[in-house]
């Protein structure tokens, strides 16, 4: 009884918190959840989170460009993913005022499972793509600064080093290109210089870097003043290291590399900003007193005296306070407004002490100054923005698009099937502090229908939540309308997700709320869910796990009670994912997914997946399908609880899908990919006045794609596809071409063409379909985009005794303004 009382009060609290959702009447569901940027380091990181699990297929261009096209395939075919893929296009804006020139992320669906994610930048950048091991995110490393100092990072005579440091101390700080020969989650042996066809003066070294809880090792060769030099050397090692690529090394990486190659004696001769002692050795106690005097001077805002003391401390040799003094000297310079001097001290710090949490803190300070300096570079006469970063970052976009669809048939003539204006709003507010990270987000849309006999006006809410993370305690919470496809949650819900980080390897989550079947729905409380899950890992630098227990109710009837989890193994060459969802109340396996990706030495990627599931996911609510009553209470007036559960099982089919695919980069410009899919859907049984629904035979789908980039002009991408479907009702051969051409950086022209030939076994007819279209967009002043798209579809179907011609035309025109 006590538990029921707590549960009832908790649900009332969630219902009260959800009143805001019911009161707001304005973005339909989308594949992209969030896009976040971390530019505290160079390269910076872009992280794209998905609302549904997505399998990475391939991307182009491979390493560099101002527009990156990523092909994806969904791993879910439930109700949530069908709603997600129903949108024609989704655009998400990342936070502004970062060092990453990302303009937007766009997802363009090709069908109910496949689509392309496009990341567009305001200038050409170098990047490295890392698909997430959980298939729910992508990580992109982007070089944010490629201003190379034209002086090699090699040893110099001591006299030359002294003379150059006197004339220009900052000129000694260098950043250079390198060749990344190999990446691995295991330690990599460094070959001898003579083992590679490279200049013997180059440095071979390994470096460590963390990604998603794993520590990677990189084998690298450097250093090069220009990208052209690095690319020329890259060609010489491609036969031995097919996956090698050109990257960018910071001064701190160069320092660590040369130290690794030659020891402390080399580091003391490096052309990086050093600290030359000029005072005699003195007791540490005296230096400690100077540190305390400097601290007091900072507290009294006597910055000049503090700068003198910290500078003096650095002139003493071999004392334990040099590292702290160098950091505080940079802080004092920054408070004084001497930003160029502060940058110099922070760079010296990172060059001499590149590892640890202190280095992360200094890198963030340096990035903050750089961002402020770039933001203040405005033409004379304009008001300069403050170098101080605002407490809240607010960003997003608003768009309006008019859509018109017309169709013509022999029987009905011309018919306008859609004439509507869609207004979309996407807004995010974020605050990053020393103790808390806070974020709130809203995405919603309102569609105005101009047709008198149309479906009418509609509004939808995809996301409306507040998220808070307390850094020191490991507590986090998100309240509102949100999406989740792990921990047993089947998609979107209104409610609370809370987490507690027990340690580096264990995160415990609890969830409670009300499932959302459609983004057009307001808060509905007759169905609710609650559950607990744990994320475990990473173990052995390769394994992650998730386990969950969840229960869902509908009008007091047990809807679903399931256990399950995930096991993920990730290695640069081989990654595996398994997912199980088992309903213990029905003793039924709801979902079993096995997925593997294998990367061969020649960069060929092989993907394989086995997907078995109930379709739809088995819940007691499935019993409502085909019934005339609206809810579970009314159904209980007709059937007993046991009969309702039987009906639910009768309405649920078994779906099996097996896919085998591969992708291979032929050259730097050309790639080829393809896959074969076998699927089958079982029959459903007739019961409760509902007829059976026949399933399918074994159906086969064949896909082949050629991708080319930088073919006719820099930055263009073209995809030619061939698809053949052998299904129960028809045989379909489809040829498609999709190209994107940039003009003067602000124009994008996207012509598309698809031709289908269908042999319909259901009515012994054949059919030709041609569907051309054109999309043109113009970007004005980086934050405003005007777009138009138009196209049509023409079809001729030859029946046994007749021929039917149909045609349709669509027109889309609108704008988007980002802020």
The token pair at 798 is 């030859």
Which residues make beta-bridge pairs with 409?
413, 806
* Per-residue model confidence (pLDDT) at position 300: 81
**CA dihedral of 452, 424, 74, 139, whole degrees rounded to 10:** 170
Q: Which of 121, 108, 109, 129 is nearest to 59 (CA)?
A: 129
Question: pLDDT value at position 2?
Answer: 36
Alpha-carbon gap, residue 32 to 9, rounded angstroms: 34
Could you tell me how many residues make up the chain? 819
644 is a domain residue: no
pLDDT of 783 over the 90 cut? no
Confidence check: pLDDT of 8 > 60: no
Distance, in Å, from the CA atom of 503 to the CA atom of 810, rounded to the nearest integer, reads 54
Q: What was the pLDDT predicted at 16?
A: 34
Over the stretch 191-232, which tens digit does the pLDDT of each residue have?
A: 887 788 887 778 889 988 887 778 888 899 988 877 888 888
Q: Please say if the pLDDT value at position 19 is more than 60.
A: no
Residue 780 lies in a domain: no
CATH number of residue 83's parent domain: 2.60.40
Q: Report yes or no on 78 lying in a domain.
A: yes
pLDDT (0 to 100) of residue 400: 96
Q: Is residue 99 part of a domain?
A: yes
pLDDT above 80 (res 777): yes
Report the b/e string of 239-256 with b at 16+ CB within 10 A: eebebbbbbbbbbbbbbb
Residue 64's nearest CA partner among 243, 240, 245 is 245
514 vs 21, 296, 426, 809, CA distance in Å? 12, 56, 23, 40
> CA 179 → CA 225, 234, 809, distances in Å?
12, 7, 50
Q: What pLDDT score was predicted for residue 271?
A: 43
Report the SS3 class of residue 766: strand
Question: Tokens 């004379």 appear where?
Answer: 380
| CB 134 within 8 Å of CB 238 | no
Select the more confidently predicted residue: 260 or 643. Answer: 643
Kindly indicate the confidence band of residue 282, based on its pLDDT and cuts at 50, 70 and 90: confident
Question: What pLDDT, on a 0 to 100 scale, did the predictor assign at position 372?
Answer: 59
DSSP annotation string for 620-687: GGGGGTT-S-SSHHHHHTTS-HHHHHHHHHHT-EEEEEEEEEEEEE-SSSEEEEEEEEEEEE--B--B
Cβ–Cβ under 8 Å, residues 32 and 54: no
pLDDT at residue 370, rounded to an integer: 63
3-state secondary structure of 93: coil
3 state DSSP class of 516: coil
H or E element in which residue 325 lies: helix 322-336
| Half-sphere exposure for 655 (CA within 13 Å, toward CB) | 18
Cβ atoms of residues 491 and 136 within 8 Å: no
Residue with the larger pLDDT of the pair 619 and 41 = 619
Residue 481 lies in a domain: no
The structural domain count of the chain equals: 1
| Position 732 in a domain | no
Q: Residue 236 falls within a domain, yes or no? A: no
Give me 411's structure tokens. 């029987």
- What residues make up the domain containing 109? 31-148
Q: Beta strands 245-249 and 176-184: pairing type? A: antiparallel
pTM (2 decimals)?
Answer: 0.74
pLDDT (tens digit per residue) in 20-67: 333 333 334 578 888 888 877 767 889 998 888 888 888 888 888 888
**pLDDT grade for 593, boundaries at 50, 70 and 90:** very high
CA distance linking residue 546 with residue 108, whole number of Å: 30
Tell whether 59 is covered by a domain.
yes
CA angle, corner 279, sides to 273 and 284, nearest 5?
95
CB 54 within 8 A of CB 72: yes
Average pLDDT on 173-188 reads: 79
- Please give the share of the chain, as a percent, with pLDDT higher than 90: 42
Pairwise CA distance, residues 669 & 172, whole Å: 37
Where residue 5 falls among pLDDT bands split at 50, 70, 90?
A: very low
The yes-or-no verdict on residue 87 having pLDDT over 80 is no
Q: What is the pLDDT of residue 728?
A: 93
User: How many CB atoms neighbour CB 163 within 10 A?
Assistant: 11
What percent of the chain has pLDDT above 70? 85
Please check whether residue 493 is in contact with residue 551, taking contact to mean a CB–CB distance below 8 angstroms: no
Using one digit for the tens of pLDDT, what is the confidence trace for 389-411?
557 888 899 999 999 999 998 77
Confidence of residue 88 (pLDDT cuts 50, 70, 90): low
Q: If pLDDT is split at 50, 70 and 90, which confidence band does 636 have?
A: very high
Distance CA 164, CA 154 (A): 14
**613-633 average pLDDT score:** 93
CA dihedral 257, 262, 265, 270 (to 10 degrees): -40
- What is the mean pLDDT of the segment spanning 439-444? 93
Confidence check: pLDDT of 269 > 90: no
Render the burial of 616-642: b for 16+ CB within 10 Å, e for the rest. Answer: bbbbbbbbbbbbeeeebeebbeebeee
How far separated are the first and last CA of the chain, in Å rounded? Answer: 51
Query: Residue 299 corresponds to which tokens in the numbers above?
Result: 């507290």
């Amino acid at each position: 009884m006590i538990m029921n009382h707590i549960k009832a009060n908790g649900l009332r609290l969630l219902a009260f918190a959800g009143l805001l959702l019911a009161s707001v009447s304005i973005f339909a569901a989308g594949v992209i959840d969030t896009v976040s940027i971390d530019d505290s380091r160079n390269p910076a990181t872009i992280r794209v989170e998905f609302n549904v699990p997505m399998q990475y297929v391939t991307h182009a261009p491979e390493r560099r460009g101002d527009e990156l096209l990523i092909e994806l395939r969904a791993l879910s075919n439930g109700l949530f993913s069908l709603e997600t893929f129903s949108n024609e296009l989704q655009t998400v804006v990342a936070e502004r005022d970062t060092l990453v020139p990302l303009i937007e992320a766009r997802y363009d669906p090709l069908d109910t499972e496949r689509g392309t994610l496009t990341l567009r930048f305001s200038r050409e950048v170098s990047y490295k793509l890392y698909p997430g091991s959980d298939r729910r995110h992508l990580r992109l490393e982007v070089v944010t600064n490629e201003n190379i100092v034209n002086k090699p990072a090699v040893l110099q005579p001591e006299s030359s080093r002294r003379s150059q440091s006197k004339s220009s101390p900052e000129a000694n700080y260098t950043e250079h290109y390198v060749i990344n020969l190999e990446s691995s989650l295991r330690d990599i042996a460094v070959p001898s210089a003579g083992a590679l066809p490279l200049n013997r003066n180059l440095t071979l070294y390994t470096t460590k870097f963390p990604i998603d809880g794993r520590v990677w090792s990189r084998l690298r060769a450097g250093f090069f003043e220009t990208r052209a030099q690095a690319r020329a050397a890259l060609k010489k090692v491609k036969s031995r290291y097919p996956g090698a690529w050109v990257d960018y090394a910071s001064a701190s990486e160069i320092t660590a590399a040369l130290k690794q190659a030659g020891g402390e004696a080399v580091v003391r001769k490096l052309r990086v900003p050093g600290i030359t002692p000029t005072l005699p050795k003195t007791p540490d106690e005296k230096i400690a007193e100077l540190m305390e005097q400097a601290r007091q001077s900072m507290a009294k805002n006597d910055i000049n005296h503090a700068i003198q003391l910290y500078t003096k401390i650095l002139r003493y040799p071999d004392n334990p306070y040099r590292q702290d003094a160098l950091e505080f000297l940079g802080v004092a310079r920054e408070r004084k407004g001497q930003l160029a001097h502060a940058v110099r001290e922070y760079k010296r710090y990172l060059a001499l002490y590149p590892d640890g949490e202190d280095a992360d803190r200094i890198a963030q300070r340096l990035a903050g100054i750089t961002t402020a300096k770039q933001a203040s570079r405005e033409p004379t006469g304009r008001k300069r923005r403050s170098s101080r970063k605002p407490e809240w970052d607010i960003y997003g976009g608003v768009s309006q698009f008019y859509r018109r669809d017309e169709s013509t048939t022999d029987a009905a003539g011309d018919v306008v099937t859609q004439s509507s204006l869609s207004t979309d709003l996407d807004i995010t507010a974020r605050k990053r502090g020393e103790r808390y990270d806070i974020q709130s987000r809203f995405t919603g849309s309102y569609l105005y229908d101009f047709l008198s006999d149309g479906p009418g006006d509609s509004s939808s809410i995809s996301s409306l939540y507040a998220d808070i993370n307390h850094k020191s305690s490991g507590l986090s919470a998100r309240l509102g309308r949100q999406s989740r496809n792990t921990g047993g949650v089947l998609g979107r819900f209104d409610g609370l997700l809370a987490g507690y980080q027990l340690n580096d390897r264990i995160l415990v989550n609890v969830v409670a709320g009300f499932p959302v079947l459609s983004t057009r729905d307001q808060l509905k409380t007759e169905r609710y869910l609650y559950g607990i899950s744990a994320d475990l890992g990473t173990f052995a630098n390769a394994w992650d796990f998730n386990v969950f227990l969840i229960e869902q109710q509908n009008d007091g009837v047990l809807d679903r009670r399931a256990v399950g989890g995930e096991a993920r193994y990730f290695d640069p060459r081989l990654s595996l994912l398994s997912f199980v969802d088992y309903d213990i109340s029905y003793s039924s396996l709801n979902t079993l997914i096995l997925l593997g990706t294998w990367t061969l030495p020649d960069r060929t990627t092989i993907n394989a997946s086995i997907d078995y599931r109930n379709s739809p996911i088995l819940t007691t609510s499935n019993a409502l399908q085909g019934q005339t009553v609206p809810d579970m209470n009314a159904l209980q007036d007709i059937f007993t609880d046991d009969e309702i559960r039987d009906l639910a099982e009768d309405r649920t089919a078994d779906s099996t899908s097996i896919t085998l695919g591969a992708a291979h980069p032929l050259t730097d410009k050309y790639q080829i990919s393809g896959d074969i899919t076998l699927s089958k859907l079982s029959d459903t049984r007739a019961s409760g006045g509902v007829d059976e629904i026949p399933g399918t035979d074994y159906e086969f789908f064949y896909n082949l794609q050629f991708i080319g980039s930088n073919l006719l002009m820099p930055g263009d991408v073209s995809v030619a596809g061939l698809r053949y479907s052998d299904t129960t009702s028809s045989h379909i051969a489809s040829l498609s071409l999709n190209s994107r051409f940039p003009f003067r950086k602000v124009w994008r022209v996207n012509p598309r063409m698809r031709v289908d030939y269908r042999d319909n076994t259901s009515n012994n007819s054949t059919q030709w379909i041609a569907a051309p279209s054109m999309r043109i967009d113009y970007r004005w002043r980086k934050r405003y985009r005007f777009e138009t798209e138009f196209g049509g579809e023409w079809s001729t179907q030859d029946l046994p005794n007749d021929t039917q011609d149909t045609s349709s035309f669509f027109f889309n025109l609108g704008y988007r303004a980002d802020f």
